[in-house]
Chain A
Amino acid sequence: MNVILEGKKVSKWYQMGEIRVDALKGVNFELYQGEFVVVLGPSGSGKSTLLNIIGGMDQVSAGELFYQGKPLQGAEESAMTLYRRNAVGFIFQFYNLMPNLTAYENVQLATEIATDPLSAADILAEVGLKDRAGHFPTQLSGGEQQRVAVARAVAKNPELLLCDEPTGALDLKTGIQILKLLRDFNLRYKKTVMVITHNAGIADMADRVFNLKDGELASVRVIDNPKAPEEVSW
């Protein structure tokens, strides 16, 4: 399988006055094209930091990071913007939709800037919100808002879909609907999906599971027969 992203001794620390807080301590990892990765770990283990670095929102303090062989560490701000624009799609725990854009316009916001986008209307139909396209976020339920967020991330047609606790604010049933959407995208378009969560139940549907502990990659588990999203529970 093709390696799409590779991290070599990725470290991240924050200087708080005289104290240095190490969030990531020399993590080595690879992400393959079309795989579904779940990153597990307790609070403070470095999950979000890893996601931010992979997502191009933050720079490494030390180490190297390659996207399709090209280095991301030390890249220009404009290069990072292009990377986020075309290579990465983000899904957050709290959706982060634009409150004054409708569901359709929120998706359009993404398709307008991407180089090879999918059709905003199609994607919205795929997430089952065809009839709610003209609604504003405040007029949608949490699950519906997260589906808009998924549609928005997917519509850019990115190689890498990064999800930060995508089900964290949802009930089980709604959460599973979201996971199903993510898995569908992953399988249908052969795109890499990385889900960050402290919810171990989700790990059962992954191809591989990263376990982070104290800023280090404690283990990588390969699952040969991952469960379907409908089968997982927590």
Chain B
Amino acid sequence: MLWKKMWRELRENKAAYLACITVIAIGLMLFVSMSVVFEGLSDAKNNFYGDYRFADGFADVSGLSQTQVERLASVEGVGSLEGRKVEDVRVFAPEREENVYLRLVSIRPEQTVRLNDVMLLAGAMPAAGTRNILVDPAFLEANGLQTGDIIPVIIAGKQVEFTVTGVGLSPEFVYILRNPMDIYPDPATFGVAYSPLDVMQTLFGDDSLNDIIFTLAAGDTYEDVEGRLKPRLESFGLESIYAREDQFSEAMLDQELNSVQSMVTSVPLLFLIVAATILYILLKRMVEQQRGQIGILKALGYSSREILFHYISYALIIGALGGILGSLLGFWLSYPLMTMYKTFFNLPGLTGCFSFSYLVLGVLFSTGFGVLAGYFGSKEVLKLQPSEAMRPPAPPPAKQTLLEGLRLYWDNLTVQGKMATRNAFRNLGRSFFTLIGVMFAFSLIATTGYFLSITDVLIMDQFTKVQTHDVKVVFAAPTDSEAARLELSHLPGVNRFEAYLEVPATISQSWYEKDTMILGLEADSEMYSLLTRNGVKVPLPPEGMVLSQNLAERLQAKIGSRLEIESPYAEDSPVYSEVVDIVPQYLGSNAYMDIDALGRLLGQGRISTAALLSVEEGAFPALKDRYREAQGVFSVEEKGSMLNKFTELMESYSFTYWILALFGMFTGFAVIYNSGIVSLSERRRELASLRVMGMTPPEVLQVLSFEQWFISLFGILAGVPMTMLFLQGMASAMDNDLFTFPVMFELQPFILGTVGTVASIWLTLRVIFRKIRRLSMVEALKERD
């Protein structure tokens, strides 16, 4: 019979319970989909790395022979070691606006067990001695190519044609970037191809190997092996040696996994807490209202536990329904999410899935929360004696509130305002929950809004304030700055030339070490500016180094710290420099120096690796054509096209943020709606009396609306620090080498939060208004509490 009572009551209050179920479902949907994504990604990664023998260590050298490689393989602690040839080449594509590159990685077809092996997705392995290649699937797809097609590339100034014989993936190129400054993969302009070693040696006219990969023998650490290999490799022109965790593709994948994992635990929890709050309020109210019924049930002989269970079952049912619905939606959502990940990560076997264990876990999770909220909401039942329960509760003492001391405020209130103010204070518990609800709602909307606006800020700042050049000409090798200036600054359409030096380096400070790029800029650079948080330009000191904030944090460096720098570009490694300044940097994390000071530090004089140009409109195509075939020029990049690509990518991201913002708004609405409905039902009788006295529905609404706005004002105010807290949490979860999410006080998200919250309240008040109009005066007054 109690079940019947429950079903009928659930039906009567369906809007409130549906809202609660939806909030739970949103939380669970995020939990389940993210969990599936996390598990899918890490399983796919582990399997791929294991099956295709992903190396534990990597080293770039200028060149060594096969015999020398074999000698290195016998170094203590090395499991196996292979030498490869890795070269970037330009694809011959005169019809294309932008330059297209392929990274050629050598393979030895005759070898059966290979490190960083290539998984053949289609076609056949290229045979030794043939100009055949395997190409990564993203590049093929983005360029409309398939097995059997021919890709012409430029090697040593000559055009060479490769035939695509198959499609291949390797664990080292799961996330494919041409260089770490690129941030997003762009498969249309860069891909990876695998070619027989002997063919590459012939084409490049060089038998040497320039890339070392190795695994560790059981029981040895990477640090030990690096210590032994490094001195041996230095004689072969060691440029860098790094562990698997620093390998670019792996680092990106790992970062993504970490941020998914932190989302799995934080975001769904937030929604569940909100849902639990709603449930708590609903049940507490119901128990208060059904005092009489509880008394009767007890008088009839139902035990307190049975009645408590009855009320908890509401929460149980709602939790379970929300859990099942959310989990199923989560599995459904995991498919498009995985498809999205597929565009970034070349991992075999990435697909959404249904997992029974997550369904069970999800439902347990949501019902657990429900039961907890239900228990605390209805535990009053236990205390009630039947005789006491059948009497109306002793009215809470009405008394003057603190605000009445503020005569100016109090005397200007309408009577409705006075009622509302006292109500808010008299029901402190409920007011507090409403406040929490509004605070959550506001923070959810503002937080998601922040990410919407900040990504724009990040990108736009980088491209309109930091990097203000029009064209970047990247040299194939470090070049004398003056020669470059002579060559480039007098070309037609070029307004300004600035030398630019990118130096790969390992910077260390006491025990902390970080691989990064040191950027050398001209002292009075106008095309690359370091900015403070407020966008004020920071002058480049004539000596010493400027670090980006997060690089400084990783190195635990302060102004005045002495840094040790190892770089393949340095005449004598290591060299030393001092930290002169620390600046915020949101995209990437670099060190900066005056280009001449950097050249001196490295013992290289005035060299540069690229030129930054400011050009007249329309001058770019001519520049590009001029250097398309030039041996000394690696690439000619136009900033505008990069900016467009970023904007496009950001748009695909912003969709996700909008969805989250919508969830935030809905949740906010659900909280506000439920607390409003609870207020209404608690005061039906009071409000009906007002109607009987001849107040119009809008006048009666004022009592509730004043209270709602009054509490919401404080909720919104409390939501501001709460939002900052959320942002701090999310920023530290998402912080990595590529992005720093600055937590700044931006007005826009708070405006969005306020608008969203106000809209939710307004909508709720509309619903309440309708209910007030329908309020039956006769019925409400007949009830004696």
Digit string of B663-706 for contact with A (CB within 8 Å is 1, else 0)? 00000000000000000000001100111111111010000000
CB-CB < 8 A to A92: which residues of B?
781
- Binding-face segment, B223-231, B313-321, B419-427, B448-456: B419-427
Are A101 and B418 in touch, CB under 8 angstroms? yes
B693 touches A85 (CB 8 A): yes
Whether a CB of chain B sits under 8 angstroms from the CB of A114 is yes
Picked from A57, A84, A105, the residue with its CB within 8 Å of the CB of B415 is A105
Known: A82-B694, A84-B694, A86-B694. A96 touches B689 (CB 8 A): yes
User: B496 contacts which chain A residues (CB < 8 A)?
Assistant: none
A109 at the interface (CB under 8 A from B): yes
* Pairwise interchain contact A81-B784, C-beta atoms closer than 8 A: no
Closest residue of B by beta carbon distance from A90 = B692
A85 to B784 CA separation, bound complex (whole angstroms): 24
Q: Let me know if A110 is at the binding interface, CB within 8 A.
A: yes
Q: CB within 8 A of B419: which of A83, A101, A110, A152? A: A101
Measured CB to CB, the closest approach of chain B to A37, in angstroms, equals: 20
B694–A113 touching, CB < 8 Å: yes
CB interface residues, B 132-149, toward A, < 8 Å? none
- The minimal Cβ–Cβ distance linking B398 to chain A, given in whole angstroms, is 4
CA distance A114 to B696 in the complex (A): 12
A138 at interface, CB cutoff 8 A: yes
Q: Evaluate contact between A84 and B692: CB separation under 8 angstroms.
A: yes
Interface string of A124-155 (1 = CB under 8 A from B): 00000000000011110000000000001000
List, in ascending order, chain A residues with CB within 8 A of B419's CB: 98, 100-101
Contact A57 B692 (CB under 8 A): yes
Q: List residues 58-81 of chain A with CB under 8 A from any CB of chain B.
A: 58, 77-78, 81
Contact A100 B426 (CB under 8 A): yes
Contact B395 A84 (CB under 8 A): no
A55 to B695, CA, bound (A): 14
Q: Which residues of B contact A83 (CB under 8 A)?
A: 694
Which residue from A100, A108, A152 sits with its C-beta under 8 Å from B423? Answer: A100
B418–A114 CB distance below 8 A: no
Report the nearest B residue to A77, measured CB to CB: B773
Complex interface: chain B residues within 8 A of A108 (CB): 415
Tally inter-chain residue pairs, CB-CB below 8 A. Answer: 78
Interface flag for A191 (CB, 8 Å):
no
Task: State whether B696 touches A78 (Cβ < 8 A).
Answer: yes
B414 touches A98 (CB 8 A): no
Instruction: Please name the residue on chain B nearest to A101 by beta carbon.
Output: B419
Q: A57-B777, A96-B685, A99-B686 are in contact. Are A113 and B695 (CB under 8 A)?
A: yes
Q: Which residues of B contact A152 (CB under 8 A)?
A: 693
Chain B residues closer than 8 Å to A94, beta-carbon distance: 784
Contacts of B691 in A (CB 8 A): 81, 84
Q: Is B399 an interface residue (CB 8 A)?
A: yes
For the complex, is B659 an interface residue (Cβ under 8 Å from A)? no
Residue pair A113, B693 in contact (C-beta under 8 Å): yes
Q: Which residue of B lies closest to A158 (CB)?
A: B694
Interface bracket on B: 20 to 34
Chain A residue at minimal CB-CB distance from B395: A138
A81 lies within 8 A of B781 (CB) = no
In the bound complex, how far is the Cα of B289 from the Cα of A79, in angstroms? 33
**Which residue among B398, B414, B423, B686 has the maximum number of chain A CB atoms within 10 Å of its CB?**
B398
Complex-state Cα separation, A131 to B690, whole angstroms: 25
Partner of A57, one of B398, B399, B773, B778: B778
Inter-chain contact B778/A81, CB cutoff 8 Å: no
Q: How many chain A residues touch the partner (CB < 8 A)?
A: 34
Chain A residues with CB under 8 Å of B405's CB are none
Chain A residues with CB under 8 Å of B778's CB are 52, 57-58
Q: A77-B773, A100-B422, A136-B399 are in contact. Are A55 and B414 (CB under 8 A)?
A: no
- Write out the residue numbers on chain B whose beta carbons fall within 8 Å of the beta carbon of A112: 414-415
Kindly list chain B residues whose C-beta atoms are within 8 Å of the C-beta of A217.
Answer: none
* Interface check B219, CB cutoff 8 A: no
B397 at the interface (CB under 8 A from A): yes
Question: Given A101-B418, A101-B419, is A156 in contact with B426 using a C-beta cutoff of 8 Å?
Answer: no
Chain A residues contacting B685 (CB-CB under 8 Å) are 96
**Which chain B residue shows the least CB distance to A87?**
B694
Chain B CB within 8 A of A88 CB: yes
Q: A57-B778, A58-B778, A136-B399 are in contact. Are A101 and B415 (CB under 8 A)?
A: yes
Is A85 within 8 A of B694, CB to CB? yes
What's the Cα separation between A137 and B777 when bound, in Å?
Answer: 21
Q: Which residues on the A side are within 8 Å of B695 (C-beta)?
A: 81, 85, 113
- The interface residues of chain B lying within 8 Å CB-to-CB of A77 are 773
Closest residue of chain B to A55, judged by CB? Answer: B692
B683 to A: closest C-beta gap in Å? 10
CB distance from B699 to the nearest CB of A (A): 7
Q: From A85, A88, A108, name the one whose CB has the most chain B CB atoms within 10 angstroms.
A: A85
Nearest-neighbor residue (CB-CB) of B422 within chain A: A100
Interface residues of B in 763-780 (CB under 8 A from A): 773, 777-778
**Which residue of A is nearest B784, CB measured?**
A94
Complex formed: what's the CA distance from A89 to B26 in Å? Answer: 50
Q: A84 to B777, alpha carbons, bound, how many Å? A: 12
Which single residue of chain A is at the shortest CB-CB distance from B414? A112
Closest to A82 in B: B694
Instruction: Give every chain A residue within 8 A of B686 (Cβ-Cβ).
Output: 96, 98-99
- Asked if residues B696 and A81 are in contact (CB atoms below 8 Å), the reply is yes
**Chain B residues with CB below 8 A from A81, complex form:** 691, 694-697
**B694 and A109 contact, CB distance less than 8 A:** no
Given contacts A77-B773, A101-B418, A108-B415, contact A96 B781 (CB under 8 A): yes
Contacts of A109 in B (CB 8 A): 415, 690, 693
Query: How far, in angstroms, from A77 to B697 measured CA to CA in the complex?
Result: 10
Interfacial chain B residues near A82, Cβ < 8 Å: 694
The 8 Å CB contact of A156, one of B395, B422, B694, B777, is B694
User: In the assembled complex, how far is the CB of residue A95 from the closest CB belonging to chain B, in whole angstroms?
Assistant: 9
B110 to chain A, nearest CB (A): 89
In the assembled complex, the CB of A203 is this many whole angstroms from the nearest CB of chain B, namely 24
User: A84-B692, A112-B415, A113-B699 are contacts. A137–B398 as well, Cβ < 8 Å?
Assistant: yes
CB of B292 to closest CB in A, whole Å: 15
Bound state CA distance, A85 and B693, in angstroms?
6
List A contacts of B693 (CB < 8 A). Answer: 84-85, 90, 109-110, 113, 152, 156
Are B777 and A101 closer than 8 Å at their CB atoms? no
**Residues of A with Cβ closer than 8 Å to B?**
52, 55, 57-58, 77-78, 81-86, 88, 90, 92, 94, 96, 98-101, 105, 108-110, 112-114, 136-139, 152, 156
B contact residues vs A (CB 8 Å cutoff): 395, 397-399, 414-415, 418-419, 422-423, 426, 685-686, 689-697, 699, 773, 777-778, 781, 784
Q: Pick 16 A–B contacts, CB within 8 A, sort by A.
A: A52-B777, A57-B777, A77-B773, A78-B696, A81-B695, A84-B693, A96-B781, A99-B686, A100-B422, A105-B415, A110-B693, A113-B695, A113-B699, A138-B398, A139-B398, A156-B693
Closest 3 CB pairs of A and B: A85-B694, A136-B398, A84-B694
Having A84-B693, A108-B415, A113-B699, one finds 20 other A-B pairs with CB under 8 Å, namely A57-B777, A81-B696, A81-B697, A82-B694, A83-B694, A90-B692, A90-B693, A92-B781, A98-B686, A99-B395, A100-B426, A101-B415, A101-B418, A101-B419, A113-B693, A113-B695, A136-B398, A136-B399, A137-B398, A138-B398
